[in-house]
Amino acid sequence: MDFKGQVVIVTGGARGIGKAICEAFAKRGANIAVVDLMDEEAVKTADELKALGVESISIKCDVSKSEDVKEMFNTVVEKLGGVDILVNNAGITRDTLVLRMKEEEWDAVIDVNLKSAFLCSKEALKLMAKKRFGRIINISSIVAFTGNPGQVNYSASKAALLGLTKTIAKEYASRGITCNAVAPGFITTAMTEALPDNIKEEMLKNIPLRRFGSPEDVANAVVFLASTEAGYITGQVIHVNGGMYM
């Protein structure tokens, strides 16, 4: 899978799964826009990608705000020449039980996890439709299918991404644009490492492959969906969870 000369935008690309996705594309020749609110970490990631011999820029952007997103896309086009692949990976959590959840905690998660994917996809589609080619990959979650106590906002946002994915896939298939989703299960990141050991042990019992996933496991699925080899796949979800959800 060769992406030489193609331009990839990864939101939430500074660390964790987002960073692994950036690295996977860069290793295959793509030029990368690392988009994140964490400015210093985004700059560091972009610099590391340059060492792989590709062009890479970091952009500080609140992807839940339309004006910020428009400015970000303008910067990518100006500095990298266009957009071929968009990975909507930005996401946050504000966990608590339904009756304790504040309205602002609901709104914050919906805005970052769902609204941002709508805003970024809208800008990307304008560019992709003109050249009749594009790949959009949305990062959903296993909890979109199972639900999860204490995560009604997160689960709802990740489930809604699936409807977004399928609708874009249907609207833009005739323009040579595919839109798919990846739904990770328990992936080892800084966020999940902070969980108590007893909780992690219980979760591991529910994974047939008996191991937690890595950010690279998710990145490999994203890269495949963006490739020419996956050109006849659209509106689909790839589950990356070790069999935790079947």
| Euclidean distance between CA atoms 87 and 121, whole angstroms | 9
The whole model's pTM is what? 0.96
Compute, in degrees rounded to 10, the torsion defined by CA atoms 236, 19, 215, 28: 70
Compute, in degrees rounded to 10, the torsion defined by CA atoms 85, 91, 185, 21: 30
Q: How many CA atoms lie within 13 A of 213 on its CB side?
A: 26
User: For the chain, give me the number of helices (H) and strands (E)?
Assistant: 10, 7
Q: Which of 170, 163, 160, 178 is nearest to 124 (CA)?
A: 178
Contacts of 205 (CB under 8 A, 6+ apart): none
| Euclidean distance between CA atoms 18 and 214, whole angstroms | 12
Among residues 154, 172, 232, 245, the one annotated as catalytic is 154
Q: Which of 136, 4, 112 is nearest to 64 (CA)?
A: 112
What three-state secondary structure class fits 3? Answer: coil
154 is catalytic: yes
Q: Which of 93, 94, 75 is nearest to 83 (CA)?
A: 75
Give the pair of three-digit tokens for residue 245: 């959800």
Cβ proximity of 57 and 80 under 8 Å: yes
pLDDT in tens, the chain (246 residues): 899 999 999 999 999 999 999 999 999 999 999 999 998 999 999 999 999 999 999 999 999 999 999 999 999 999 999 999 999 999 999 999 999 999 999 999 999 999 999 999 999 999 999 999 999 999 999 999 999 999 999 999 999 999 999 999 999 999 999 999 999 999 998 767 777 888 888 889 999 999 999 999 999 999 999 999 999 999 999 999 999 999
Q: What are phi and psi of 153, to 5 degrees?
A: -70, -45
Q: Which of 75, 79, 171, 54 is nearest to 121 (CA)?
A: 171
Residue 129 Ramachandran class (φ > 0 left, ψ -120 to 50 alpha, else beta) = alpha
